[in-house]
Structure 1
């Protein structure tokens, strides 16, 4: 991508892992840049044949162990179904991740608020348009930080 250097595709999945304890500093599990769905490219190497998280922007702030419990070992894209525009682009990106990047699974993580369910609809529509079929999971996080439900959809 041209323009903002923050849009440059960077894969740092090979960075050295440090052991994590329950206390003290933990290492970030983020292995790529960018992460915003408008900016990511389905052709990026960190999406190819991987397990993907599609995460509502608020989820990592509400879920204390997001990195440890969900992000570790996965690639990520974030979006806000209420505030982001041109969601048709999002649907096409999900379709491309499934068909072209040949992702293994897609986990959609949202908050319990009604507007967040729009991200699930984006994922479902992208998956329906794709020629490949993959497992899609929905994880709903409560506004106080707990996981309310996890189900394959």
Structure 2
């Protein structure tokens, strides 16, 4: 019964040996992928950090304004005015913060597109070199 058990390890090795592959190509591809991943991660972490700082600043401003609004007033109308001031400042702050968030997103998007374009360009150059070399070798072999 042991004689009938297939050796999958040997089968895989034989299959891999039947298709010789340059390890250098895999190594180069892995390095390029790792470089691209590093660039994209840096972009994402930077955007997240800037966004977090902006959110924290917004929270501090809001809490400061709420503290100011909650102070005891001598006139009842002063409470209404204080609330109106808070609302106005919050609306202005919201517009400013949303614009700042949009700038963070825009910068991250531009950096991402640039990184992807660079990676695509490098890949295209490699493909062109490989095609040229293959054509040259095929022409030489045909002669």
TM-score in terms of structure 2 length? 0.20
Structure with more contact order per residue of length (Cα contacts < 8 Å, sep ≥ 6): 2
Specify which structure has the higher proportion of strand: 1
Specify which structure has the higher proportion of helix: 2
TM-score in terms of structure 1 length? 0.19
